[in-house]
Structure 1
Amino acid sequence: MVKKIALVFVGVLLALVVWQWELVSYGWMQAKGQVRLLWNTKPVADVLADPAYPDSTKQKIELIREIKRFAIDSLGLDKSGSYESFYDQQGKPILWVVTAAQPYQLVAKQWHFPIIGTFSYKGFFEKDRADTTKAELQRDGLDTRIGEVSAWSTLGFLNDPILSSFLDRPVGSLAELIIHELTHGTLFIKNSLEYNENLADFVGEYGALRFMAQKYGRNSVPYRDYLATKVFYEKYDEHILHGTQVLDSLYKTFKPTTSTIVKDSLKWQTIRQIVVSSDTINTGERSIKKRTAGKLNLPNNAYFIGYLTYRKQQNRFRQEFENRFGGDFKRYLTYLKQTYPSL
């Protein structure tokens, strides 16, 4: 009887593997990549005690630990075992993300995963598989984009390490990154990627400004430099998000009878104008360097989808935080955690 049950179980398992081979294969690849990374990490305490590591590395690691303590104690993010180990990338990227979108609609390709839900991007620890996936999506007629990933969160399921690439970031960017990822481990809503990424961006930037003010003071050079950077990129975000509205309006004018040649001509003409007009963004301290329009490597719809995923809801969070909660972040975070069920 036991033997029959075992054979049935094996049969069901094999059928499941055949039926969902792509998902199983992808999951195995991701698991191998994550395990390989975790297997080759060193405890932070060992790195700090090792004379082979330079003082500059140790100082940045100590800074990351300070940022993490601030995020938990001052912002109220959940306690985490992340960033207590160190992984040396040896100057190499370790994760790539593929995004895709419809060619004449700002509609993202969606991937569905058990437990964590739906995502508009797909990560790969193997560059060859990322390139293969991108090529397959292009053959299906989709706009695609592939990019290296500087950090990611396992949403509290694992303890994420400090990556050596973190150490190259200036302090404001580093604080923003760490707080962004810790936010994912505190609140992550299934099938709501745009909400999750916009929230983490909002908390990361707000938390970084508070950390910088506390550590250096609002009149310090590090704080002012970071603030100037944020002001500039907010203007750029506004410009690109306005560009998504222009593109969306254009695509809605296309009819089934509109030829591909005409659609492509209008699409790339509009995208070129969005990119070229970004040269006018100037906040006094920063501006985009002038470029020759004829030499531009124009982005496609997948690039604009990325901005919608990460930046579209920033004003919503700011207004809710300030108007409803009077700038009391811990109260605001408590409200979010009570209102939105997290994984």
Structure 2
Amino acid sequence: MLKKIALSIVGVLAVLIVWQWELVSYGLMQARGQLRILWNTEPVTEVLADPAYPDSLKRKIELIQEIKRFAIDSLGLDKSGSYESFYDQQGKPILWVITAAEPYQLVGKQWNFPIIGTFSYKGFFEKDWADTTVAELKRAGLDTRMNEVSAWSTLGFLNDPILSSFLDRPEGSLAELIIHELTHGTLFVKNNLEYNENLADFVGEYGAQRFLTQKYGKTSVPYQNYMSTKAFYDRHDDHILRGTRTLDSLYRTFKPATPVVVKDSLKWNMIRQIVESADTIRNEQSQSLVRSIKKRRLSKLNLPNNAYFIGYLTYRKQQNRFREEFDTKFGRNFKRYLTYLKQTYPSL
């Protein structure tokens, strides 16, 4: 009897693997990548005690630990075992993320994963696999975008390490990054990626400002540099989101009979206008930022497509919602606001 049950279970598993082979193979690839990283991490305590590591690196690691304590003690984020180990990337990229969208609609491709739900992007630890996936998506007629990712969260399922790429960031950017990822481990709503990423962005930015104020003061260089850069990117976000709405309005004028050549001409002219008109948001402090952004995006090969705009909506569309709710309904009491969010939106 037990033998029959065992054979039945094996048979069912075999059918599931064949039926969902793409998902299974992807999961195995991701598991290999994650385990490779975890296997090659060093405990932070050992890194800090090792004379082979420079003091500048150790100071950044100590700063990350301080940011983490602040996020838990002062913001009320969940306790976490993350950022207690260190992984040296040796200057190499570690993860690539793909986004895809319809060519004449701001509709992103969705990928479904067990437990964590639906995502509008897909990550790869292996560049060759990411390239193959991009090629397949392009053959299907979709706009695509692939970019390297400097950090990610395993949503509390694993203890995420400090990556060596973190250490190149200035204090404010580093605080925002760590608090963003710890927010994912505190509250992550299944099948609502836009909500999750917008919330983590909001908490990361708010938390970074509070951390810098507490540690350095509002007149300090780290605080002033962070706020100046943030002010530029807030204006840039508003500009891109306005452009996204304009682009969406254009696509809604397209008819089934509209020739593809006409659609393409109108689409790319509109996108180029959005990028070129970024000049309107610059000031003396942000001229170099504008130039670097435009240099990347005005290249014929790098002109942003719908996948880029979908990515922007995923991370930035709901920022004003969180800010207004936090200010007006909760009097800027963050712990009370976080308690409300956790009670209202059940997490994984």
**TM-score above 0.5:** yes
Equivalent pair of 2:275/2:298 in contact (CA under 8 Å): no
Taking the TM superposition and a 5 Å limit, the aligned residue runs for 1:142-161 are 142-161=142-161
Note if contact 1:231-1:283 (Cα within 8 Å) is conserved in structure 2. no
Match of 1:333 in 2: 338
CA contact (8 A) 2:95 2:148 kept: yes
Q: 1:112-261, aligned counterparts within 5 Å?
A: 112-261=112-261
Gaps of 5+ in 2: none
2:55 aligned with 1:50, yes or no? no
2:307 counterpart (302, 305, 316): 302
User: What displacement does 1:294 show?
Assistant: 7.1
Q: 1:285, CA displacement in angstroms?
A: 2.1
| 1:94 aligned partner, one-letter code | I
Would you say how many aligned residue pairs link Structure 1 and Structure 2? 343
Confirm whether residue 40 of structure 1 aligns to residue 40 of structure 2: yes
Cα displacement string for residues 294-330 of structure 1 (whole angstroms, at most 9, x for unaligned residues): 7453110000001100000000000000000011000
The 3-state SS of whatever aligns with 1:273 is helix
- Pairwise CA distance, 1:289: 2.2
User: What residue is the counterpart of 1:266 in the other structure?
Assistant: 266
Does residue 1:77 correspond to 2:61, yes or no? Answer: no
Q: Counterpart in 2 of 1:320?
A: 325
What is the alpha-carbon distance in structure 2 between the residues aligned to residue 211 and residue 264 of structure 1?
46
TM-superposition CA deviations, 1:22-44 (whole Å, max 9, x none)? 00000000011111110110000
Unaligned runs of 5+ in 1: none
In 2: Cα distance, 1:38 partner to 1:268 partner: 43
Normalised by the length of structure 2, the TM-score is 0.97
Partner residue in 2 for 1:278: 278
The answer on whether the counterparts of 1:193 and 1:309 sit within 8 Å (CA) in structure 2 is yes
Question: CA separation of 1:294/1:307 partners in 2, compared to 1, >3 Å: closer, same or farther?
Answer: closer
What is the percentage of aligned positions where both structures have the same residue? Answer: 78
The alignment status of 1:289 with 2:297, answered yes or no, reads no
SS in 2 for 1:135: helix
| Cα drift, residue 8 of structure 1 | 1.1
What is the rounded CA distance, in whole Å, between the counterparts of 2:7 and 2:316 in structure 1? 51
Matching residue's letter, 1:321 = F
1:99 corresponding residue in structure 2: 99
User: Which residue of 2 is the match for residue 111 of structure 1?
Assistant: 111
RMSD: 1.2
